[in-house]
Amino acid sequence: MRKIAVVDDNADNRLIIRTILEDQYEIVEFSAGMEAIEGFRKNRPDVVILDISLPEMDGTEILRRIREDTQLYDLPVIALTAHAMVGDREKYLSAGFNDYVPKPILDMNVLFSTIRRWAP
């Protein structure tokens, strides 16, 4: 079973993703950046679903640390965010996220197909 890491400070949001995905994937949850990066080093996930607006260390900063990490630099990271105005998709893709899914998720298939793109 492929392993998906969900990083979001909001428990409801983590629960939604877990519930949608848990039949098909092994889910690991993190609520903060440092904890998540340490977790990734110990137990590397196949795909990371990363929220952007997080207290202390935001998603863009977490992504930067992942990309600078010798072990983790090539992790597929999907931005799952309520930053969903015109131009946000392009902004996060050019920041180095592999993919982008806006919140709220209107069609759960979008989430599945996005994950499959990076963990076939």
Partner 1 sequence: MGPRPTRILLIEDRESDYLLTRRMLSTIEGQAFDLEWASSYGAGLQAIHRAAHEVCLLDSKIDGSDGLELLRESQKSECKAPVIILTGMGDYRLDVEAMEMGAADFLIKDQLTATLLERSIRYAIAQARTLEELRRQQDEIRVSELRFRSVVQSANDAIVQTDENARIIFWNKAAEVIFGYREGEVLGFPLELLMPEWRRPDLRLGFERFRTGGKSQLVGKTIELEGLRKDGSDFPLELSLASWTTSEGTSFTAIIRDITERKRGEEMRCAKEAAEKANRTTSSFVAIVSHELRTPLHAIIGFTNILLQNGSLDTRDLDFLERILRNAENQLRLIDKVLDLGRVEVGMDVELAFVSLETIVNEVVKQFEAGRRNPDVQIVLCVSPSMPVVLTDPAKLKQVLIHLIDNALKFTERGSVTVNVATSSVDSTPVRIDVIDTGPGIPADRLEEIFEPFPRLETEVTRVGAGSGLGLSISRNLCRLLGYRLQVRSRPGRGSTFSILMPASVRTMPSAAERAGPVQGERDCKRG
- Chain residues binding partner 1 by CB under 8 A are 10, 12-13, 16, 19-20, 53, 81-87, 102-106, 108
Write the CB contacts of 79 (distance below 8 Å, at least 6 apart in sequence). 50, 52, 59, 92, 97, 99, 100, 101
CA angle 31, 108, 84 (to 5 degrees): 65
List phi, psi (to 5°) of 21: -95, -20
CB of 103 to partner 1, least distance (A): 4
Give whichever of 19 and 113 is closer to partner 1, judged by the CB atom. Answer: 19
H or E element in which residue 86 lies: none
CB of 69 to partner 1, least distance (A): 27
Give whichever of 27 and 75 is closer to partner 1, judged by the CB atom. Answer: 27
CB of 39 to partner 1, least distance (A): 23
CB of 80 to partner 1, least distance (A): 9
Give whichever of 17 and 47 is closer to partner 1, judged by the CB atom. Answer: 17
For residues 50 and 42, give the distance between their C-alpha atoms in angstroms, rounded to a whole number. 18
For residues 9 and 31, give the distance between their C-alpha atoms in angstroms, rounded to a whole number. 4
Give whichever of 40 and 92 is closer to partner 1, judged by the CB atom. Answer: 92
